[in-house]
Chains A and B, each alone.
Chain A
Amino acid sequence: MLTVLTFLPFAAGGLILLLPRRRDASLRFIAILAAATTFVIGALLMVQLAQTGTAVRQQAAWIPSIGASYALGFDGLSAPLVLLTTLLGLLVLFDLPASGEDTKELLFLFLTMETGVLGVFLASDLLLFYVFWEVALVPLYFIIGIWGHEGRREAALKFFLYTRAGSLALLLAILALYFRTEPRSFDLDAITAAGRASGSGTFAALVLLGFALGFGVKLPIVPLHSWLPDAHVEAPTAGSVMLAGVLLKMGGYGSVRIAVGAVPAAFQRFAGVFIAIAVIGIVYGAAVAMAQRDFKRLVAYTSINHMGFVLLGATLAVTGATAADRTLAVNGAIIQMVSHGLLTGGMFLLVGMLQERMGTRDLMELGGLWGRTPVFAGVLTAFAFASFGLPVFSGFVGEFQVFVAAVARWPWAAAAAAFGVIISTALYLRALQQTLFNTPTARSLTATDLSVRERGLVGVLLAASVFIGVAPGLLISIVERGARTLLGQ
């Protein structure tokens, strides 16, 4: 079942490549059908996981000679992200750039990317994880480079080079772990088990450094982030949604799952550094975002702010004051990722819709949409409030748990992160003000409100965020089981 879940999008993509180009509608139909089926499978597995509480696993020999196996696992940590990926993977198919001739390739790339990301979240074998990691990376390079906006080429190049460099560090770290484990193995559970007994010496520190670079580029952490704003700004809307919605999560998931699992002692030794990096990301991301004029660039920078909470949670998972705090930190990191996927995905969709209507994303040239397009205005307001952590929405659930995990041992980090939350309130309010209020421009007087398709897209994301915000118990109980297994509690 997990194999079907993972490879169904890719298979559909392959099928689409073989079909005649001119039947555009049926190509899209096949892609949507496949993505919808993937989503349903993911949802069913999630229901099953919630009911039985046992993880779904699948294992087969792959390259036995080097101890690499084809092992997939659907547990409390991966399940929410898998479901998020299948949901966003389905939704973006309704918002693809109008490409005319190239629909085939575009659909293929999106579906391949979905398979890659699903594989990253599901893999229980590090070599397999790495392969999927690369598979997920490449399609986006083409999506940005071909279907992007004016500066797409440089942005795509930058994106690719940064992530390549990160991948290399990641590969080295994975190989190092492979040689450490007795018997040599890429099996994540074996590596995690060995990790609990591992020290915090130079070897572990170097492995940690490799992960920090590999996952840090992807998250991204502050000095390694400069690919992110350009990639987002130049990518077509659907590409941005996938990039922010799920690809950044690969870095967060890796930090929680692999870095915490494999080298906990080293992670704990350098916890101060990572907490500092996380907090800098939270404050810096918000501060830079506030100064942006381009709405899309603004949303891109807020990702750095939000993902800072994920790194903070991952670090607190090894350095929290009590066992309960460490569990909460893992919970918080995973739920924050799901929430960010829903909310920032929705934000990018809304900015795309805004650009289609107004012809610009420049905040200084927008204004006055509140009266003319009430549905758009209401939804944008809801997403903005949700993004700065208003309760009732999902963002609050993750941030609160990270705060609880932080206050006992790292009070200054909690305080600095709280400062970041205040700046992020300011920046979203400013963006709302510039877009919805102020003097209406000529264009905003003729703007049309959201269509049924657009309402459906953002409505689903908003509903999911509200569901998590209002009834967080379900998701928390699922994630917590995975967190306890990971932390060996």
Chain B
Amino acid sequence: MSALWLVPLVPLLAAIVIATLSGRVSSPSGAGFLATGAALVSSAMAAAVALQGTAGSVLRATLTTVSLAGHPLTLGLQADSLSATLALLVAAISATILAYSVWYMRDEPSPARFFAVMSLFGAAMLTLVLADNYILLYVAWEIVGVCSYLLIGHHWRERTALSAALKALLVTRIGDVGLLLGIACLFAAAGTVSYQPLLTSVSNGMIHGPLVAAGAWLIIAGALGKSAQAPLHVWLPDAMAGPTPVSALIHSATMVAAGMYLVARSYPLFVAAPAALNAWFIVTALTACGAAVAAAAQRDVKRVLAYSTMSQLGEMGMAIGAGAPAAGMVHLVAHATFKALLFLSAGIATKASGTNELTELHDVPRIASAGFLVGALSLSGIPPFAGFWSKTAMTAGTSQFAGVVFLALAPVSAFYIARPFFIAFRRPIRQDDSEALTRVVPVLVLAAATASVGFAPALFIPAWSAPPTSLTAVDVRTWLDVAGALIGWAVAFGLYERRAPLLIAAANRVTFVGTWARSGFGVDAFANAVAALVRTFSAVTSRLDVAAFDRMIATAARAGSRRLSGTPAFDRAIGMEVLAGSRRLSRFDVDVFDRAARRTASFTLSMAGLIGRADDQLLDQNIERGAVGIGGVGARVGALQTGRVYHYLFAVFAWIAVVTLSVVVAVRVWR
């Protein structure tokens, strides 16, 4: 067993330990510290792996090989520079957020379950980024989805949390099933699901054709669901019903980015299917722009962050779609740090004031305010924070057209994140933080990371992509983006801090856009309509099932029964015939079977007497009683059959004949 396996295994063990001990450990923080500790160990190992991985060598560890119709299916882990970097990111962010959760979950229900599922999530997410093949990725992909479901519904007594959980799992599963089909296509085309041989032979042109293209399109479906891109994005805003650490870890930093990782990882496939890549670029660009506008219109701080996540993920998707997957991955790392920071800060604020409504947030502690500001600046791409470097990488790596979209997004993104800052986080209160170390330290760690991590991924990740790209060239386009971001901040400052009348008047002019954007441009209503349609379909088929297949036959049987009894001659004739036959049969029965049966019985009895295991009396009684028992059974069943059985039988036969005939006719016509 390679050390690589320990990276996901340690959090998995923590999850198992917490789940089994949950009944016995009374202190909720015990579970929290155990989970945090495991995540720290895992990060240390991931760091070791990452150092080795970035040195150019790819660590591999094979778990098992399954032979499937002659094709060896090797399942294992690999740590190239991309996987190793992301593993380190996942483990480190998990550790930080789990530590924060120790504080957050102090007064929440069932903390043990929470920490068990969070640890399980960490293990699955690490497997997802470290897998060296699509099957293991899919397994982890589904497990993180289930963890997400369980954690969104953590407050299971609340209806909103429940329906959000259901919606999240269901909508993402639409994409997941697509992904599964895509993997099936790739396996059918290539006979392997391991990235390295599969993607190499696609790049060489050794494997091509409709199955490969279908694989690329269906991988997009999976990524759209998981990364909340249009039109499968509707679950993410609702998912904010989960506890804030869940939103931070799963619904912004790691799980939702898995779709971006998947597409970047499969990039050679998309080079072979350029139409799919173009479609991907368009969809992610639309999501990035739409979600940015929607984020600016939200009233709930967590929903601002949710739409912001969609928009940022959309930007990553654009970078990948425009030919710079490495830059997209750099932004994934940067986004994970600053978005987790924003969520943790927002969580402190919402916990302090007991509401998520922007205008009602009050008594915001200083640490939350400072954390939010650092995160917001980073998101806007202001130097020297992480977002600046990743956006530089994205503009440097992509075409002019993508650059124009990035430039258009810069002021909007800055505005939507500056807006909550000026509305709610601008005037913090002093608070004694000494007692809540687990609340403050994670925020400080993430803030420090956001301030410093900028260069790091740009050093590691390009080593994975071929050809290696330089992502650190700061040119004029970068500075244009920064200028755009500053404009966004200025507008938000004028509107919410200075309350400049001119701006307010302008804002009132576009209220209708705001209303429309707040509802996610009505896509959610559309999705609900689709869901209602499916429900109706289900209800109608179910009604039909009873009416067509069940009642129809029974009615036919009854009608047949009535018809037959209405024709006395016919009935009597048949009856006489049957009766006569029956009499003859009965005589035969007595003659042959009864005698035989009696002989058998007496033979058995004498045998029994011979063996002498039981006295005659007992056995005799038993047989008699058994006979009565079986007779009783027969009588009870018989009662249900008298009369209509034959008509029913006739009806069933007729039905089957009808079905058969119609199939035969249909086949004839069809051919």
- Residues of A participating in the B interface, judged by any CB pair closer than 8 Å: 17-21, 101-102, 104-105, 141-142, 145-146, 153-154, 156-158, 161-162, 164-166, 169, 209, 213, 217, 223-226, 230, 270, 272-273, 284, 287-288, 290-292, 321, 323-325, 327-328, 331, 368, 370-371, 385, 390-392, 400-401, 403-408, 411, 414-415, 418, 421-423, 425-427, 429-430, 433, 436-439, 471-473, 476-477, 480
Q: Which single residue of chain B is at the shortest CB-CB distance from A168?
A: B653
CB within 8 Å for A162 and B139 given contacts A270-B667, A324-B191: no
Whether B645 is near chain A, meaning CB under 8 Å from some CB there, is yes
Known: A102-B633, A162-B652, A165-B649. 19 other contacts (CB 8 A): A18-B622, A21-B626, A105-B633, A153-B639, A272-B670, A273-B663, A284-B541, A284-B545, A287-B534, A287-B538, A287-B541, A291-B535, A391-B139, A392-B139, A400-B183, A425-B170, A437-B157, A473-B65, A473-B67
What separation, in Å, do the CA atoms of A290 and B71 have in the docked complex? 38
Contact A145 B659 (CB under 8 A): no
Whether B537 is near chain A, meaning CB under 8 Å from some CB there, is yes
What separation, in Å, do the CA atoms of A191 and B437 have in the docked complex? 77
What separation, in Å, do the CA atoms of A14 and B263 have in the docked complex? 63
A328 to chain B, nearest CB (A): 5
What separation, in Å, do the CA atoms of A223 and B549 have in the docked complex? 7
Whether B423 is near chain A, meaning CB under 8 Å from some CB there, is no
CB within 8 Å for A429 and B550 given contacts A146-B637, A273-B663: no
Chain B 521-554 interface residues, beta-carbon cutoff 8 Å to A = 534-535, 537-539, 541-543, 545, 549-550, 553
CB within 8 Å for A391 and B629 given contacts A370-B156, A422-B173, A429-B169: no
Q: Which single residue of chain A is at the shortest CB-CB distance from B550?
A: A226
What separation, in Å, do the CA atoms of A179 and B644 have in the docked complex? 36
Contact B645 A422 (CB under 8 A): no
Contact A156 B637 (CB under 8 A): yes
Contact A161 B649 (CB under 8 A): yes
User: Number of B residues whose C-beta is below 8 Å from A?
Assistant: 74
Contact A291 B177 (CB under 8 A): no
What separation, in Å, do the CA atoms of A436 and B187 have in the docked complex? 38
Q: Which A residues are in CB contact (< 8 Å) with B539? A: 291
Q: Which single residue of chain A is at the shortest CB-CB distance from B613?
A: A18
Q: Mark B637-658, 1 if CB is under 8 A from A, else 0.
A: 1011100010011001100100
A321 to chain B, nearest CB (A): 8
Q: Which A residues are in CB contact (< 8 Å) with B538? A: 287-288, 290-291, 423, 427
Contact B550 A421 (CB under 8 A): no
CB pairs A–B below 8 angstroms (12 shown): A165-B653, A213-B656, A290-B542, A291-B539, A390-B146, A391-B139, A403-B184, A404-B187, A418-B181, A425-B169, A425-B170, A480-B67
- CB contact between B67 and one of A156, A270, A290, A476 (< 8 Å): that residue: A476
Q: Mark B503-527, 1 if CB is under 8 A from A, else 0.
A: 0000000000000000000000000
Whether B630 is near chain A, meaning CB under 8 Å from some CB there, is yes
Contact A102 B142 (CB under 8 A): no
Whether B592 is near chain A, meaning CB under 8 Å from some CB there, is no
Contact B138 A418 (CB under 8 A): no
Chain B 121-162 interface residues, beta-carbon cutoff 8 Å to A = 135, 138-139, 142-143, 146, 153, 156-157, 159, 162
Q: Which A residues are in CB contact (< 8 Å) with B537? A: 287
- CB contact between A224 and one of B71, B142, B181, B659 (< 8 Å): that residue: B659
Contact B545 A226 (CB under 8 A): yes
Contact A287 B180 (CB under 8 A): no
CB within 8 Å for A401 and B166 given contacts A145-B636, A291-B538, A411-B214: no
Contact A422 B211 (CB under 8 A): no
Contact B162 A438 (CB under 8 A): yes
What separation, in Å, do the CA atoms of A275 and B18 have in the docked complex? 47
A475 to chain B, nearest CB (A): 10
Q: Which single residue of chain A is at the shortest CB-CB distance from B71?
A: A324
B606 to chain A, nearest CB (A): 15
Which 6 A-B pairs give the minimum distances between C-beta atoms? A153-B640, A291-B542, A226-B549, A324-B69, A403-B184, A473-B66
Q: Which single residue of chain A is at the shortest CB-CB distance from B139?
A: A391
Contact A385 B170 (CB under 8 A): no
- CB contact between B636 and one of A146, A166, A291 (< 8 Å): that residue: A146
Whether B64 is near chain A, meaning CB under 8 Å from some CB there, is yes
What separation, in Å, do the CA atoms of A287 and B538 have in the docked complex? 4
- CB contact between B211 and one of A101, A331, A408, A433 (< 8 Å): that residue: A408
Contact B553 A226 (CB under 8 A): yes
What separation, in Å, do the CA atoms of A439 and B157 have in the docked complex? 7
Whether B178 is near chain A, meaning CB under 8 Å from some CB there, is yes
What separation, in Å, do the CA atoms of A246 and B550 have in the docked complex? 24
Whether B188 is near chain A, meaning CB under 8 Å from some CB there, is yes
Contact B181 A403 (CB under 8 A): yes
Contact A105 B146 (CB under 8 A): no
Chain B 586-633 interface residues, beta-carbon cutoff 8 Å to A = 618-619, 622, 625-626, 629-630, 633
A210 to chain B, nearest CB (A): 10
Q: Which of A105, A141, A287 has the most CB of B within 10 A?
A: A287
Q: Which single residue of chain B is at the shortest CB-CB distance from A290?
A: B538
What separation, in Å, do the CA atoms of A383 and B519 have in the docked complex? 36
Whether B660 is near chain A, meaning CB under 8 Å from some CB there, is yes
Whether B68 is near chain A, meaning CB under 8 Å from some CB there, is yes
Contact B68 A401 (CB under 8 A): yes
What separation, in Å, do the CA atoms of A288 and B64 have in the docked complex? 39
Q: Which of B139, B157, B177, B535 has the most CB of A within 10 A?
A: B177
Q: Which single residue of chain A is at the shortest CB-CB distance from B221?
A: A418
Contact A400 B184 (CB under 8 A): yes
Q: Which B residues are in CB contact (< 8 Å) with A284? A: 541, 545
Q: Which B residues are in CB contact (< 8 Å) with A421? A: 177
A267 to chain B, nearest CB (A): 13
Q: Which B residues are in CB contact (< 8 Å) with A385? A: 146
Contact A429 B170 (CB under 8 A): yes
Q: Which single residue of chain A is at the shortest CB-CB distance from B645?
A: A157
Whether B70 is near chain A, meaning CB under 8 Å from some CB there, is yes
What separation, in Å, do the CA atoms of A19 and B621 have in the docked complex? 11
Contact A403 B162 (CB under 8 A): no
A352 to chain B, nearest CB (A): 23
Contact B162 A102 (CB under 8 A): no
Chain B 315-351 interface residues, beta-carbon cutoff 8 Å to A = none
What separation, in Å, do the CA atoms of A323 and B157 have in the docked complex? 52
Whether B174 is near chain A, meaning CB under 8 Å from some CB there, is yes
Q: Which B residues are in CB contact (< 8 Å) with A287? A: 534, 537-538, 541-542
What separation, in Å, do the CA atoms of A436 and B149 have in the docked complex? 14
Q: Which of A157, A272, A327, A480 has the most CB of B within 10 A?
A: A157
Contact A161 B652 (CB under 8 A): yes
Q: Which single residue of chain B is at the shortest CB-CB distance from A272?
A: B670
What separation, in Å, do the CA atoms of A209 and B666 have in the docked complex? 14
CB within 8 Å for A104 and B534 given contacts A328-B68, A400-B180, A429-B169: no
Q: Which A residues are in CB contact (< 8 Å) with B543? A: 291
Contact A225 B549 (CB under 8 A): yes
CB within 8 Å for A324 and B70 given contacts A20-B622, A157-B640, A425-B173: yes
Q: Which B residues are in CB contact (< 8 Å) with A157? A: 640-641, 645, 648
- CB contact between B629 and one of A102, A400, A477 (< 8 Å): that residue: A102
A144 to chain B, nearest CB (A): 10
Q: Which B residues are in CB contact (< 8 Å) with A472? A: 66
